[in-house]
Structure 1
Amino acid sequence: DKDIPARVTLMQLPSRNEIRVRNLFNVVDCKLHWQKNGDYLCVKVDRTPKGTQ
């Protein structure tokens, strides 16, 4: 059960077309931040430290 990845998907709306999909392992938290003009999206992913389970 620990090997189930977190899935981050960037979608185009209203068509719900998947633009980009990433499967990430050992994710603790994921935050999304839009640039002020809305041109760029930042995805910040916090992971568990290596060697920690």
Structure 2
Amino acid sequence: MRLTPEQLSARKKRNLALAGALIVFIVLVFTTTVLKMKGNLDDRKEAATAGQIAGAAS
């Protein structure tokens, strides 16, 4: 089965749209993960400063 140039062009556009959506999703998940980790680190520093974590004196 041979595809026409129009069909090939439409396939390429769909593939690019799908790739773009996948990249956006990956960036969103990565950004969310980094922000959550940063928040946890900030909370941990605050707790250590307040002396709430055992062994935080080191």
**Is the helix fraction higher in 1 or 2?**
2
Higher Rg:
2
Shared fold (TM-score greater than 0.5)?
A: no
Scaled by the length of structure 1, what TM-score is found? 0.19
Answer 1 or 2: higher relative contact order, Cα 8 Å, separation at least 6. 1
